[in-house]
């Protein structure tokens, strides 16, 4: 047990801090997002990713041979933490960097690595992830979007839904059915699809929070070269699981800092807002709830650090990532509820505090659904970590 | 950064687990808990011989010179075994005497196992906050005279040395007395957890000589606070061991027990309870290991790390115990099944050193008011 930073971790952090001081854009992500058009915001984020790339800070834990920094998972955590502490712009292309890229590194061909990895790191190419379908949500393996091989091309037909970033993406990691006669997990294939290919239509969906973050995608006779298969044909399930494990493993630290900032802002409100003529933070019941929020968040930080320390040794994110996902999604919802309680009637005003609390409360409702519902995470923990038999 | 037990700590874990599996099986726990003392001389000397009574204390204080993480490792294995007897009281007393300077003649016998110990803190109001201590210590000669009653004293029924937390003219006074001293009256109290006994201790004008005065005023408070943190850590780690046992036992049961022609572990309602039990157990482990580390390596974070851990673990341990019984169904509710031992010990530990509600206020004071 030694939770202190090693000299090399310390050095990494100090260098990063210096770099951030010199390179952070003058305008914060939040101010640009609210003031500028979607396109201007997109350009702002793209510039930032380019800066990170040029500074050698894109793909922190990717191997050096693929343009990464070859840093440890601990250093990656330090990176996310420092970015958040510095109020750096939100990252664009997180799907490419956190999920598609590592999967291409694991199972991709040499050509695919050469073709796709540089664009992911530089931010020149944004990815989306075509997994869920109207009839394949939690039961992802039952997806129906079909790809039929004709010569050296797959012809893709079908529909995807809940696809984040599809409206701005250049490329899509798409899971399709290539063998309709095999068992449902065995007939899937993963394709790397250019979003400009004729036959793809994207229709944005609005979240209850008002965000236009996710989309429906329609595929009508979309022709995808056979060389764009990621992994092997009919091995798509394994590829998808690799991608999802990476997704769960990569989120923790960045989220912690975001949640921590939220709690600090709630505490500011709790000192301002009154209950029975006294600051809300002195109300015995609210005080207990706020303390619990503090504890839950601290345990999240410790769980994440411990998981990363473990990942540093094994190198491969495993099903334990489901514990983190389950924990943070439910924690964020509990803490958003506590914030609303602290605010009392102010909680419902869209103009109050730039609407951040309403947004927070509504947006977090999706947390226990996106990236695998809490029920699916519990199934994964029970079956793949505890070794209980499959229930479906 | 390395957030895991070191190799030697893993070896210690294994050796403690093996010792308790061999010498303290559930059958023996049941025999001992049915006695007045829950003390087995042979088991006690095994633990003493390993040096575990002072594992975290400085060698100059008769300890092994390891750290609080090592102490937590041993305590976790004790919790897993429902280890009966006065470990908590003895380690708490030894830690207190060590924190107060380590010069007391009462210290070494506690770390070697020659004597058993207890710390008398709580009074009739049941408050874990030392500010509320009222029992009077009146200066007399070079020492003090003690009069009053202490309650809920862990392990006092077998203690040779009792450290009494009293109030003197200038704040707290820590006084060590022998259980045999005239005027010391120990009355066992029947309580929920039979594996670790509680007692009332009454002091009827007990004279404490100068060599029994451990610390006074600020120094007393500082030593007491540190010892409370260590004792809370021991308790939380004990709870972690219990959670781990309950989780493993419940998952095993879910894999074998059949209903509707299937093992019940194939039903999602049961799976989800088991998944939650794992989440609570592992989250508790993160909180406890961190607190154990901070207590030794980062004293400035120790108070909040311990309070955080006791908040989380107090609730988590109760939930795990509850789900454990629920997964087992009827058999989990019987006297015959060992779950009851863990269920009760978990509840008693939740109360020990303050429950989640108590420690949430500590967290609030540290995090919000500073």
Q: Is residue B1 part of a domain?
A: no
| B142 and B241 assigned to the same domain | no
Could you say which of B4, B270, B367 has the minimum Cβ distance to residue A1? B4
Q: What is the pLDDT of residue B182?
A: 97
Give me the mean pLDDT over the B43-67 stretch. 97
Are A306 and B268 an interchain contact pair (Cβ–Cβ within 8 Å)? no
Residue A84: partners with Cβ closer than 8 Å, 6 or more residues away: A253, A254, A257, A258, A261
Q: What is the pLDDT of residue A93?
A: 80
Are B1 and A267 an interchain contact pair (Cβ–Cβ within 8 Å)? no
Are B275 and A302 an interchain contact pair (Cβ–Cβ within 8 Å)? no
Which two tokens mark A14? 């100090």
Q: What is the pLDDT of residue B59?
A: 96
| B106 and B131 assigned to the same domain | no
Structural domains counted in chain B: 3
Q: Annotated active-site positions of A, please? A: 247
Give me the mean pLDDT over the B334-343 stretch. 98
| A228 and A201 assigned to the same domain | yes
| A83 and A13 assigned to the same domain | yes
Q: What is the pLDDT of residue A77?
A: 84
Residue pLDDT, tens place only, A145-171: 999 999 999 999 999 999 999 999 999
B292 chain-A contacts, CB cut-off 8 A: 1
Q: Determine the distance from the C-alpha atom of residue A166 to the mean position of all C-alpha atoms in its chain, rounded to a whole number.
A: 14
Q: What is the pLDDT of residue A249?
A: 65
Give me the mean pLDDT over the A382-386 stretch. 96
Question: Which residue in A has a C-alpha nearest to residue B304's C-alpha?
Answer: A295
Could you say which of B3, B274, B298 has the minimum Cβ distance to residue A306? B3
Q: Which of A13, A280, A386, A392 to mutate to test the interface with B (most CBs of B within 10 A)?
A: A386
Q: Which of A8, A298, A392 to mutate to test the interface with B (most CBs of B within 10 A)?
A: A298
Residue A163 belongs to domain with CATH number: 2.40.110.10
B276 chain-A contacts, CB cut-off 8 A: 378
Residues spanned by the domain of B162: 117-216
| A137 and A250 assigned to the same domain | no
- Secondary structure of chain B as H, E, C letters: CECCCCHHHHHHHHHHHHHHHHHCCHHHHHHHHCCCCCCCHHHHHHHHHCCHHHCCCCHHHCCCCCCHHHHHHHHHHHHHHCCCCCHHHHHHHHHHHHHCCCCCCCHHHHHHCCCCEEEECCCCCCCCCHHHCCCEEEEECCEEEEEEEEEEEECHHHCCEEEEEEEECCEEEEEEEECCCCCEEEEEECCCCCCCCEEEEEEEEEEECHHHEEEEHHHHHHHHHHHHHHHHHHHHHHHHHHHHHHHHHHHHHHHHCEECCEEHHHCHHHHHHHHHHHHHHHHHHHHHHHHHHHHHHCHHHHHHHHHHHHHHHHHHHHHHHHHHHHHHHHHHHCCCCCHHHHHHHHHHHHHCCCCHHHHHHHHHHHHCCC
Tell whether the model's pLDDT for residue A46 goes beyond 80: yes
Are B287 and A302 an interchain contact pair (Cβ–Cβ within 8 Å)? yes
| B107 and B150 assigned to the same domain | no
Q: What is the pLDDT of residue A318?
A: 75
| B94 and B150 assigned to the same domain | no
Smallest Cα distance from A214 to chain B, Å: 29
Are B367 and A303 an interchain contact pair (Cβ–Cβ within 8 Å)? no
Q: Which of B279, B324, B370 to mutate to test the interface with A (most CBs of A within 10 A)?
A: B279
Could you say which of B268, B286, B298 has the minimum Cβ distance to residue A302? B286
| A257 and A377 assigned to the same domain | yes
Residues spanned by the domain of A350: 239-385
Tell whether the model's pLDDT for residue B370 goes beyond 90: no
Residue B338, number of CB atoms within 10 A of its CB: 18
Q: Given pLDDT bands bounded at 50, 70 and 90, which one contains residue A253? A: low
Give me the mean pLDDT over the A260-287 stretch. 96
The residue out of B46, B81, B112 marking a domain boundary is B112
Residue B78 in contact with partner chain A when CB distance is under 8 A = no
Q: Is residue A27 part of a domain?
A: yes
Q: What is the pLDDT of residue B24?
A: 97
Residue B272 in contact with partner chain A when CB distance is under 8 A = yes
Q: What is the pLDDT of residue B126?
A: 97
Residue A65 belongs to domain with CATH number: 1.10.540.10
| A75 and A202 assigned to the same domain | no
Tell whether the model's pLDDT for residue A20 goes beyond 70: yes
The residue out of A103, A122, A141 marking a domain boundary is A122
Q: What is the pLDDT of residue A329?
A: 96
Give me the mean pLDDT over the B92-98 stretch. 98
Q: What is the pLDDT of residue A84?
A: 80
Are A1 and B1 an interchain contact pair (Cβ–Cβ within 8 Å)? no
Could you say which of A1, A302, A382 has the minimum Cβ distance to residue B272? A382
Residue pLDDT, tens place only, B4-31: 999 999 999 999 999 999 999 999 999 9
Are A4 and B1 an interchain contact pair (Cβ–Cβ within 8 Å)? yes
Are B266 and A388 an interchain contact pair (Cβ–Cβ within 8 Å)? yes
- Beta-carbon pairs below 8 A across chains A and B: 150
The 10 Å CB-count burial string (b at 16+, else e) for A79-114 is bbbbbbeeebbbbbbbbbbbbbbbbbbebbeeebbe
H or E segment and range at residue A127: strand A127-130
Weakest-pLDDT range from A241-250, A382-391, B264-273, B337-346: A241-250
| A213 and A321 assigned to the same domain | no
Tell whether the model's pLDDT for residue A252 goes beyond 80: no
The fraction of chain B above a pLDDT of 90, given in percent, is: 99
Smallest Cα distance from B211 to chain A, Å: 38
Tell whether the model's pLDDT for residue A27 goes beyond 70: yes
Q: Given pLDDT bands bounded at 50, 70 and 90, which one contains residue A250? A: low
Residue pLDDT, tens place only, B120-146: 999 999 999 999 999 999 999 999 999
Residue pLDDT, tens place only, A212-239: 779 999 999 999 999 999 999 999 999 9
Structural domains counted in chain A: 3
Tell whether the model's pLDDT for residue A211 goes beyond 90: no
Which two tokens mark B138? 């009146």
Residue pLDDT, tens place only, A90-148: 888 889 988 999 999 999 999 999 999 999 999 999 999 999 999 999 999 999 999 99
Residue pLDDT, tens place only, A336-353: 999 999 999 999 999 999
The residue out of A215, A234, A253 marking a domain boundary is A234
Complex-level ipTM: 0.96
Weakest-pLDDT range from A79-93, A320-334, B88-102, B233-247: A79-93
Interface of B with A in 219-258 (CB under 8 A): 251, 254-255
pTM given for the model: 0.95
Average pLDDT of chain B is 97
Residue B290 in contact with partner chain A when CB distance is under 8 A = yes
Give me the mean pLDDT over the A75-96 stretch. 86
Could you say which of A74, A299, A326 has the minimum Cβ distance to residue B312? A299
Residue A265: partners with Cβ closer than 8 Å, 6 or more residues away: A353, A356
Interface of B with A in 344-363 (CB under 8 A): 357, 360-361, 363
**Cα separation, B169 vs B172, whole angstroms:** 8
**Cα separation, A298 vs A302, whole angstroms:** 6
Could you say which of A305, A323, A387 has the minimum Cβ distance to residue B282? A323
Residue pLDDT, tens place only, A99-109: 999 999 999 99
Q: Which of B71, B253, B271, B361 to mutate to test the interface with A (most CBs of A within 10 A)?
A: B271
Tell whether the model's pLDDT for residue A73 goes beyond 80: yes
Question: Which residue in B has a C-alpha nearest to residue A287's C-alpha?
Answer: B364
Q: What is the pLDDT of residue B352?
A: 98
Tell whether the model's pLDDT for residue B183 goes beyond 90: yes
| A149 and A111 assigned to the same domain | no
| B86 and B127 assigned to the same domain | no
- Cα distances from B236 to residues B162, B240, B356, in angstroms, run 23, 6, 12
Q: What is the pLDDT of residue A210?
A: 86
| A224 and A269 assigned to the same domain | no
| B337 and B239 assigned to the same domain | yes
The residue out of B178, B195, B216 marking a domain boundary is B216
Q: What angle do CA A195, A88, A130 make, to 5 degrees?
A: 20
Give me the mean pLDDT over the A276-298 stretch. 97
Q: What is the pLDDT of residue A61?
A: 82
């Amino acid at each position: 047990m030694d939770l202190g930073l090693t000299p090399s971790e310390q050095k990494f952090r100090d260098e990063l801090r210096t770099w951030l001081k010199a390179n952070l854009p003058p305008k914060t992500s939040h101010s640009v997002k609210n003031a500028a058009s979607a396109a201007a915001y997109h350009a702002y984020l793209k510039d930032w990713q380019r800066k990170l790339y040029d500074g050698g800070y894109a793909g922190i834990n990717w191997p050096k041979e693929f343009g990464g920094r070859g840093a440890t998972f601990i250093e990656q955590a330090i990176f996310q933490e420092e970015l958040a502490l510095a109020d750096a712009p939100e990252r664009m292309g997180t799907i490419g960097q956190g999920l598609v890229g590592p999967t291409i590194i694991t199972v991709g061909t040499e050509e695919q690595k050469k073709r796709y990895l540089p664009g992911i790191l530089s931010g020149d190419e944004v990815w989306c992830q075509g997994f869920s379908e109207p009839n394949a949500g939690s039961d992802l393996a039952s997806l129906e979007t079909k790809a039929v091989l004709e010569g050296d091309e797959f012809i893709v037909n079908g529909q995807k839904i809940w696809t984040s970033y599809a409206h701005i993406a250049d490329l899509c990691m798409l899971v399709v059915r290539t063998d309709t006669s095999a068992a449902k997990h065995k007939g899937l294939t993963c394709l790397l699809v250019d979003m400009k290919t004729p036959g793809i239509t994207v229709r944005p969906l609005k979240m209850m929070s008002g965000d236009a973050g996710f989309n429906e995608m329609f595929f009508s006779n979309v022709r995808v070269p056979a060389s764009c298969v990621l992994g092997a044909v009919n091995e798509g399930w394994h590829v998808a699981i690799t991608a999802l494990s990476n997704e769960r493993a990569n989120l923790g630290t960045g989220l912690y800092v975001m949640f921590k900032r939220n709690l600090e802002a709630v505490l500011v409100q709790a000192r301002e807002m009154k209950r029975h003529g006294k600051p809300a933070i002195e109300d015995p019941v609210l005080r207990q709830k706020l303390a619990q929020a503090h504890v839950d968040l601290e345990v999240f930080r410790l769980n994440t650090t411990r998981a990363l320390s473990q990942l540093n040794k094994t190198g491969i994110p495993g099903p334990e990532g489901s514990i983190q996902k389950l924990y943070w999604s439910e924690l964020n919802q509990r803490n958003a509820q506590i914030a609303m309680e602290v605010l009392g009637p102010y909680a419902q005003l869209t103009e109050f505090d730039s609407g951040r609390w309403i947004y927070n409360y509504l947006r977090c409702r999706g947390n226990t659904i996106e990236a695998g519902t809490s029920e699916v995470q519990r199934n994964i923990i029970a079956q793949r970590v505890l070794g209980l038999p499959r229930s479906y | 950064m390395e957030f895991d037990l070191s190799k030697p700590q893993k070896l210690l874990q294994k050796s403690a687990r093996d010792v308790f599996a061999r010498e303290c099986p559930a059958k023996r726990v049941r025999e001992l808990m049915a006695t007045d003392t829950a003390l087995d001389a042979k088991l006690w000397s095994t633990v003493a011989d390993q040096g575990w009574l002072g594992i975290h204390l400085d060698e100059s204080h008769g300890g092994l010179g390891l750290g609080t993480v090592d102490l937590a490792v041993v305590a976790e294995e004790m919790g897993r075994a429902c280890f009966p007897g006065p470990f908590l009281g003895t380690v708490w007393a030894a830690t207190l005497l060590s924190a107060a300077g380590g010069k007391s003649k009462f210290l070494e016998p506690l770390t070697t196992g020659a004597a058993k110990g207890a710390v008398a803190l709580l009074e009739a109001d049941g408050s874990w906050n030392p500010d509320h201590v009222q029992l009077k210590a009146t200066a007399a000669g070079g020492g003090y005279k003690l009069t009053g009653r202490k309650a809920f004293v862990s392990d006092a029924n077998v203690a040779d040395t009792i450290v009494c937390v009293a109030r003197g003219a200038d704040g707290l006074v820590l006084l060590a007395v022998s259980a045999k001293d005239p005027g010391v009256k120990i009355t066992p109290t029947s309580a929920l957890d039979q594996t670790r006994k509680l007692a009332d201790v009454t002091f009827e004008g007990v004279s404490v000589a100068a060599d029994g005065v451990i610390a006074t005023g600020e120094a007393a408070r500082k030593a007491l606070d540190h010892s409370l943190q260590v004792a809370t850590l021991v308790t939380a780690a004990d709870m972690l061991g219990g959670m781990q046992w309950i989780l493993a036992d419940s998952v095993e049961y879910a894999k074998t027990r059949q209903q509707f022609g299937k093992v019940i572990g194939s039903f999602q309602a049961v799976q989800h309870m088991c998944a939650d039990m794992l989440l609570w157990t592992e989250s508790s482990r993160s909180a406890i290991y961190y607190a154990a580390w901070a207590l030794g390596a980062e004293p400035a974070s120790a108070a909040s790390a311990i309070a955080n851990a006791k908040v989380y673990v107090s609730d988590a341990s109760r939930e795990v115990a509850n789900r454990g019984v629920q997964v087992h169904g009827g058999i989990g509710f019987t006297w015959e099944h060992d779950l009851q031992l863990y269920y009760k010990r978990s509840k008693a530990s939740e109360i020990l050193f303050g429950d989640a509600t108590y420690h949430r206020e500590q967290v609030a004071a540290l995090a919000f008011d500073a």
